[in-house]
Amino acid sequence: GATIGSMTPAIPPYVTVGTTPVIAEKPYVTIDDEGKYYLNIPEAVSSTQGTDFSPKREKVGFEHVFVADAARHSAAMINDKLDRGLHVVLAPGVYKLDQPLRIEKPGQ
C-alpha cells in the first residue's frame, strides 16, 4: 500500500509492492571489445523485491538475431525469420503488418 505521506499534494502518490509475482526486464543490445553485437535477454524471475543490477540473462550473438525495419520488412518476411528460429528485434517505426507475427519457438 501507499505510505501515509504519499497522499499529500506536495508528494505525488505511489504504490509499494512487497514482492513481484513475475517480472522480466526488456531485452537490450550490447557490443563487446571486439565489436561483436549481442542481444541480452533478461531471465523472468518471481517473488523479487528491490533492484537487481546483475540479473541473469541469455546472451545471444547477432548471427542469431534479425533486426526488422518497418520501411523494408513485411509480416511475411519477419515470420520467415521467426520460423527459422531467429530472435527478432523490431527497430523503431510504424509497422503496417497484414498478418500477426508468429512467435512459436521456445525462448524467442
User: Does some domain include residue 62?
Assistant: yes
Tens digit of each residue's pLDDT (9 = 90 or more) over 28-84: 999 999 999 999 999 988 888 877 777 789 999 999 999 999 999 999 999 999 999
User: Does some domain include residue 83?
Assistant: yes
User: Does some domain include residue 57?
Assistant: yes
User: Does some domain include residue 59?
Assistant: yes
pLDDT value at residue 3 = 54
Task: Name 96's bridge partners.
Answer: none
Whole-structure pTM value:
0.73
pLDDT value at residue 6 = 52
Residue that wins the pLDDT comparison between 19 and 81: 81
User: Does some domain include residue 53?
Assistant: yes
User: Does some domain include residue 67?
Assistant: yes
User: Does some domain include residue 23?
Assistant: no
Residue that wins the pLDDT comparison between 11 and 19: 19
Counting the structural domains of the chain, the total is: 1
The residues, any chain, with a CB within 8 Å of residue 54's CB and separated by 6 or more, are none
Domain that holds residue 67: 28-90
User: Does some domain include residue 40?
Assistant: yes
Per DSSP bridges, beta strands 28-31 and 87-90 are unpaired
